């Protein structure tokens, strides 16, 4: 149980750290120029370089150059706002990163059963054997029949019923093993 809580805390801490890291990176890039124009200019020079080395045909160069130039013109004409981060948004990001794991933990304590011990398979199997078989699901019925075939290994009807229960619970390999024993 402690391993679950340690794993959940680590996953929450990593997720919150990633959110905070992204927010910090955005704060560092505040006010910097949009790199889109530089990217398209570099793409144009790379196309020319590839054509000079003979790696692309002149017709392909012309088409690729026209496409990159079209993108450059579109990006230059676009209404580009500088990358900014509002200082007022930093506190809500920090609050959300801290509160989401705490809210999840609170919901678990409210809806879940953190103090309830695990129910062993043996006790569940005993409860299933004591109930009406018509109320059991296919996997539960297969578990009950599996226990019965261990008690009566020479009963072919038990293995046949076990095969049917395995087939109903989408376990074809278990059904085949039970039919071989029947």
What would the pLDDT profile of 55-76 be if each residue is shown by its tens digit? 999 889 999 999 999 998 888 8
pLDDT value for 115: 74
The pTM is what? Answer: 0.41
Query: Tell me, what DSSP letter sits at residue 84?
Result: -
Range of the domain at 156: 121-181
pLDDT > 70 fraction of the chain, expressed in percent and rounded: 89
Same-domain check for residues 42 and 107: yes
Q: Looking at the predicted structure, is the pLDDT value of residue 25 above 70? A: yes
* Same domain as 129, residue 100: no
Is residue 116 a part of any domain in this protein? no
Say what the alpha-carbon torsion angle 112, 114, 117, 120 is, to the nearest 10 degrees. 50
Length of the chain: 182
Q: How many domains does the structure of the chain reveal?
A: 2
106 in any annotated domain: yes
Mean pLDDT of 94-101: 83
Higher pLDDT, 147 or 84: 147
């Amino acid at each position: 149980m402690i391993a679950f809580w340690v794993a959940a805390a680590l996953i929450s801490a990593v997720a919150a750290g990633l959110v905070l890291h992204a927010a910090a990176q955005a704060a560092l890039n505040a006010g910097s120029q949009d790199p889109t124009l530089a990217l398209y200019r570099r793409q144009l020079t790379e196309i020319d370089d590839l054509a000079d080395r003979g790696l692309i045909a002149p017709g392909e160069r012309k088409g690729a150059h026209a496409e990159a130039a079209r993108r450059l013109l579109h990006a230059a004409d676009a209404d580009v706002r500088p990358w900014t981060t509002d200082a007022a948004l930093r506190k809500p990001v920090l609050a959300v990163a801290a509160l989401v794991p705490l809210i999840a933990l609170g919901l678990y304590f409210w809806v879940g059963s953190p103090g309830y011990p695990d129910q062993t398979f043996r006790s569940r199997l005993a409860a299933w054997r004591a109930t009406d078989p018509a109320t059991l699901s296919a996997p539960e019925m297969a578990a009950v029949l599996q226990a019965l075939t261990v008690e009566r290994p020479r009963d072919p009807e038990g293995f046949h019923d076990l095969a049917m229960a395995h087939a109903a619970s989408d376990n074809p390999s278990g059904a085949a093993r039970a039919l071989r024993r029947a």
